[in-house]
Structures are given as C-alpha cells and as structure tokens.
Structure 1
Amino acid sequence: MRVPSRSPGRQPGPAVTSTAPARRVPAAGPRAGAEPDLSAYRAAVAELLVEVGALADAPSVTARQVLLDQRLREPAIAAVLDVTPQGLIGARETLLLEMARYQPNARSSAQDLTALVRIYLLSRVDVLWWRDSPTFLTDDQVRASTELVDLEWLRRRGLIEFRYQEQPATVVGRGLRAVRRRLRPAATPRTAGLLFRRARREMIAFLNDLAREFTAVAPDGTPPLWVTSLARSAEHQYRLRRLGYAAMVPSGHCLGWAADVELEWYDRFGARPVLAGLLLARQDAGEVNVVDEGQAWHVCLAPAARRRYRRAYETEMGV
C-alpha cells in the first residue's frame, strides 16, 4: 500500500485569503533537453494561488494581471508553460482571458478565481506530457477510435473494478434519473455521467488498480471507486464550456489520458481523505498528475507509466 507523501509539491487546497508569502529567489532554469521539475512547478503554483486569493475582489483586475505577468515568468513555472503547445505567452494570454470571462455558477468546478487559476495551471502538466498525442476532435472520432475500448463490454464480463454511469440518451431516461435522485439523493454521486463510455486500455488498467487499492484501505461499507468522466472530444469540451463548466482547452480528456474521480461523495463514508491520499501518493511517485476540482479530482496518467499499465491491461484481459 502506498503511503501519502507530505511533500511541499502537493496539490494546493482551497483559496487562502491571507497575506502573500515572501517572494522566492528564482531558481536557475532547467538544462537544455531536461524535463521540467514538476514538484517545483506545483510548489510555485501553490504560492501563486495564495497571492491570487488575496487579490480576488473585482477592483484588483490590474493587480492580478501584473501578478501573473511576473509570476508566470519565474523559472519554475515558465519551464513548464514554455514547453506546452501554446508556449509561455500563449498560456499567459489564455489564462488572462479565462479569468476575464469567468462567471461563477453551480455547474463549474471553479468556484472562484483562485480555483480557476489552480485548475488551469495544474492541468498544463497534462498537455506538457502528452503534447505529441493527437486530439479527439469530434464525438465521432471518440466513438470510432480503435485506441479506446468500450467499458460496458468489459463491465458485463466482470473486468471493471470501478463504477460509472452513463448520461441518459432520452427525455424519458433523464426523467427516470431525476426521480431516482429525488427518492435516493445520496445513493450515487451527483454527476451527469459519461457521454462516452470509452477509455484507453492503459487508463482502464490504472483505474482498476486504483479501485482495488481504495477498496483495500477505505473504511468498511465504502462503495467502490466512482469515475465521472473519461475520454471526450474537443467538440464536447466546447459544449461543456458553453454550459458554464470549467472545461480547459486543450485538455487531457481530449487526448484520452485523463479521468475525473469522485471525491466529495465519499465524505459521507469517511473515505475522502483516504482516496485523496492515494491519488496524491501516486502523483508524488510520478505516476499521475492530479488536479483538485472540488467534487471530483482530475487525474492524468504520466507517459512514464504508460507501458506498465498497458502490460497490466493485457494481463488482466488475457490478450
């Protein structure tokens, strides 16, 4: 069993509205060809979030822009953003635009500006890792891709260790879902469900492994791991954005390498800290990137773990 680390590079928590910490002395940039230091990046983002939280009021727009101009150019952050597809300047402009357009709403995982900045910056690790992976541009590409496997086919054969639910496809289905929620409001996580019940083989093996570990260490009576989102298309990502969700572009979901795992629902079973600890321990081990999105946590598999989980999938499925 993995033991959660207490490293300072861990995912930051909710917005903090205290005085910003003393500024760090910028470290030397990475050597040419070296991978960016992700622990340093996450620590620098955590410090930046404290300062953003202190400038979260409406009159602080200019001060926030100046802050971001300065902090995004610091070596620990710039080293990551500079090697994403957008580059440092593109990432900066996108983040400022996201902040200018931000409107809090019940659907969005970004409950405030600090959460928006956290989700955007930490999700850039996904696109750094998988910058050469092709994007699923349309819904039809997700449905037809041979890189993705149908979860339902596996579930019926007892080969899926985690739970999920699909989005109802009809008005009648949505009505029945609403009735079940009224009758048993806490029986399942409150989620729209999967539009596409398809995932990469490596992601299935990873989620099965996480689900087994969670079952082994969670308090008695805790339900199995719930997955609320897997692969989706850029077309659907923009659809979510129009509905008010904090769906970042580009996204690890649209590359097939990310999933969202329910966290909030497990509070009622006393299991949320356990699951959070497992995810963060795997991040500390370099296996995944984790982004705290409130109700669910976004998890992206690292390229270094791809081969191991592909072998695990083939062993589990007997292929």
Structure 2
Amino acid sequence: MRVPSRSPRQQPGPPAPARRRAQAGRPQPTATVAPDLAAYRAAVADLLVEVGALTGAGSTNARQVLIDQRLREPAIAAVLDATAQGLVGARETLLLEMARYQPNARSSAGDLTALIRIYLLSRIDVMWWRDATMFRTDVEVRHTPELVDLEWLRRRDLLRFRYTEQPRTIIGRGVRALRRRVAPDATPRTAGLLFRHARREIIALLNDIGREFAAAAPAGTGPLWVTSLVRSAEHQHRLRRLGYAAMVPSGHCLGWAVDVEMEWFRRFGARDVLAELLLHRQRAGEINVVDEGQAWHICLAPAATLRLRRAYEAEMGI
C-alpha cells in the first residue's frame, strides 16, 4: 500500500516565498514509507497457521475467505500493493495458484500451506525489483553482458561455492546416474544448473556466504552449494509445466535470486549453521530468504548491490 507523504498542516500567514513553491508542471518528489518486512513475515506466519487448520477438501471456500481477509491487513497489503501487480493482482494470482495446485515429488511446495508461504514470501523479491527487466528467453540469458559465465571464474579458483550443470547428453546423464549409485551422498541430489551465469553482485554475495560458512561449519563440511541461479521466463514456465513451484514473476528471471542447498548439510551437522548465516543477513536487510525445504531461495536486496558490486570488482582485480 503506497503511503502518501505527510506534511504539517498549513498555518495561517503570508504565502511562502516564490523560491520555495513548486514550479508549475514539474512533478514534486513524494515521500514514501517502506513496508515493514518483519511485520509482513510475522503476518504471513500467522496466516499460515490458520490455513494449516483448513486442510480438508471441504474447506476451499473457507480458505478463500481467510485469504481475502488476511491479505487486506495493513502489514501484508503494504508489501503486495508495492509490487507491480498490486494487491488485487497478487491476490488473484495466489488464488489461481491455489486452485491449480497439485502436490508432486518435484515441487518444493509439499502442501497447500507451503505453496502459500513460498508465494507470499517471494513477493518481497518482486516488490524490491518491480522496475527490473526480466530475461525472457534462454538466448538472452546466455548472451547478455549483465551476467558472468561462472566456468571462467571456477577454473581460476575465484568461487567460494560449488555447482553442477545439467547434463546435456545421454552419456552425461548416464555418467551422473552411475556416480549417484556409487556415491549417493557425495553431492546434493539436484538437477543442476541450466545456466551457469550470474550477476556480479550475486557472485560476490555467494562468495561472502561461502567464506563465512566454511569458517563456521564443522570440520569436513562440504562447501556452499548452489542449485539454481538465473532463469529465463521461458525456462520458468517450462519448470511450471513439469510441476515445480516456480512462481511468476520471479527474482530468478531478473537475475537477483538464487537457491542454495540446505538438506545435504545435515549429514555434516551444518544445516543450522548455514540457516543462521542466511537469516542473519535477512535481519540485516541484505537478502530475502524463503525456506523451500531441500533448498532455500535467496534474493538480494537493492540496498546491498553497490557494496557487493565493489566487492566483486575488488576481488576480481577489476
């Protein structure tokens, strides 16, 4: 909900000097109040508790009434109204997602409550980046100068995180299947990256987190593992057709969101260490975090981009 600027009530007296008056035809800046994200997340958590009590097949109407009521609460409405869709558009999209929802093994939304949580918390991303331009096609992702090819950096040992790519051939898929049979827990069970590209600021963020995690995790813990980076809108819809909980619009399609593996780190006793590192950065206003089960979704806040761009340039010697 956009909050208009508030100015002191006009007092009687002579008119203001001409130099302080608004010039005719020139728009004047309007002060806005940023939504309270802590209040938003708390309100979403309360909503999820109530939704969880309405799991029966006959509760569809009750869930819709509940959603209608809760989305209009100031803490939630302030964020949704600040997205490009606005409150009404966000509400309609959520109800449509709920109507279409079918649980499956591929989706990070194990139930309807998880779907609502993922959708609502990811709206912080699209509020932050409402004016950003999405990458519409796979070709755009591979050829835009806004993104860096990670393989060039990996070969020079400039990355503090790991990833794997999706195999492109039958032979590649066979080799991966064999590795999983021989050593099933050696790496996270993930499909891998379709695009090994990322924004410079995202690389700096992941390197920061990777270094912190390596220092804080128990000895022998594997490195930070990234399961998804930038996606094209074309690929996002492809994932939706396959049954994944791929929200639209998404921070992934803007290049500002990533997914990092979480469950694999339980075997090292390090999952909670990584979780606290990420939540600490969220409390500091640097990222938005969405718990999606096996992986956590992370989106970079606009306020952190300048520092991280400078960090990238310093680290890469640019």
Structure 1 and Structure 2 fold alike (TM over 0.5): yes
Question: What is the aligned partner in structure 2 of residue 13 from structure 1?
Answer: none
Q: Distance in 2 between matches of 1:174 and 1:43?
A: 43
Kindly state the Cα deviation for residue 56 of structure 1 after the two structures are TM-superposed: 1.7
Q: Distance in 1 between matches of 2:156 and 2:179?
A: 26
Kindly state the Cα deviation for residue 58 of structure 1 after the two structures are TM-superposed: 1.5
CA contact (8 A) 1:29 1:76 kept: no
Question: What is the aligned partner in structure 2 of residue 273 from structure 1?
Answer: 272
Residues 141, 219 of structure 1: alpha-carbon distance in 2 compared, 3 angstrom cutoff: same
Kindly state the Cα deviation for residue 183 of structure 1 after the two structures are TM-superposed: 1.1
1:1-319 paired onto structure 2 within 5 Å: 30=3, 32=5, 33-319=32-318
CA contact (8 A) 2:77 2:87 kept: yes
Normalization by structure 2: what TM-score?
0.91
Q: Distance in 2 between matches of 1:315 and 1:67?
A: 50
Query: SS state of the match for residue 195, structure 1?
Result: coil
Question: What is the aligned partner in structure 2 of residue 9 from structure 1?
Answer: none
CA contact (8 A) 1:231 1:253 kept: yes
Q: Distance in 2 between matches of 1:239 and 1:133?
A: 22
CA contact (8 A) 2:2 2:81 kept: no
Kindly state the Cα deviation for residue 38 of structure 1 after the two structures are TM-superposed: 0.5
> What is the root-mean-square deviation of aligned Cα atoms in Å?
1.0
Number of aligned positions between the proteins: 292
The residue type equivalent to 2:35 in the other structure is P
Q: Distance in 2 between matches of 1:178 and 1:58?
A: 39
Gaps of 5+ in 2: 6-31
The residue type equivalent to 2:303 in the other structure is A
The residue type equivalent to 1:176 in the other structure is V
Q: Distance in 1 between matches of 2:187 and 2:157?
A: 20
The residue type equivalent to 2:128 in the other structure is W
Question: What is the aligned partner in structure 2 of residue 18 from structure 1?
Answer: none
The residue type equivalent to 2:142 in the other structure is R
Query: SS state of the match for residue 156, structure 2?
Result: coil
Q: Distance in 1 between matches of 2:93 and 2:77?
A: 15
Q: Distance in 2 between matches of 1:182 and 1:60?
A: 43
Q: Distance in 1 between matches of 2:206 and 2:78?
A: 30
Kindly state the Cα deviation for residue 83 of structure 1 after the two structures are TM-superposed: 1.1
Q: Distance in 2 between matches of 1:301 and 1:57?
A: 37
Kindly state the Cα deviation for residue 120 of structure 1 after the two structures are TM-superposed: 0.1
Gaps of 5+ in 1: 1-27
Residues 30, 39 of structure 1: alpha-carbon distance in 2 compared, 3 angstrom cutoff: farther
Normalization by structure 1: what TM-score?
0.90
Kindly state the Cα deviation for residue 66 of structure 1 after the two structures are TM-superposed: 0.1
The residue type equivalent to 1:234 in the other structure is A
Q: Which moved more, 1:81-90 or 1:195-204?
A: 81-90
Which of 1 and 2 has greater Rg? 2
The residue type equivalent to 1:190 in the other structure is R
Q: Distance in 2 between matches of 1:260 and 1:223?
A: 16
Query: Structure 1 residue runs of 4+, over 2 Å off?
Result: 28-32
Q: Distance in 2 between matches of 1:48 and 1:169?
A: 42
Q: Distance in 1 between matches of 2:167 and 2:55?
A: 38
Kindly state the Cα deviation for residue 60 of structure 1 after the two structures are TM-superposed: 0.5
The residue type equivalent to 1:142 in the other structure is V
Query: SS state of the match for residue 228, structure 1?
Result: strand
Q: Distance in 1 between matches of 2:99 and 2:189?
A: 29
Residues 63, 85 of structure 1: alpha-carbon distance in 2 compared, 3 angstrom cutoff: same
The residue type equivalent to 1:122 in the other structure is L
Kindly state the Cα deviation for residue 30 of structure 1 after the two structures are TM-superposed: 4.9
Compare relative contact order (CA 8 Å, sep 6+) and give the higher one, 1 or 2.
Answer: 1
Q: Distance in 2 between matches of 1:133 and 1:304?
A: 14
Q: Distance in 1 between matches of 2:104 and 2:37?
A: 31
Question: What is the aligned partner in structure 2 of residue 19 from structure 1?
Answer: none
CA contact (8 A) 2:230 2:253 kept: yes
Kindly state the Cα deviation for residue 171 of structure 1 after the two structures are TM-superposed: 1.2
Kindly state the Cα deviation for residue 29 of structure 1 after the two structures are TM-superposed: 8.4
Give per-residue Cα distances to partners, 1:244-294, cap 9 Å, x unaligned: 000000000000000000000001110000000000000000000000000
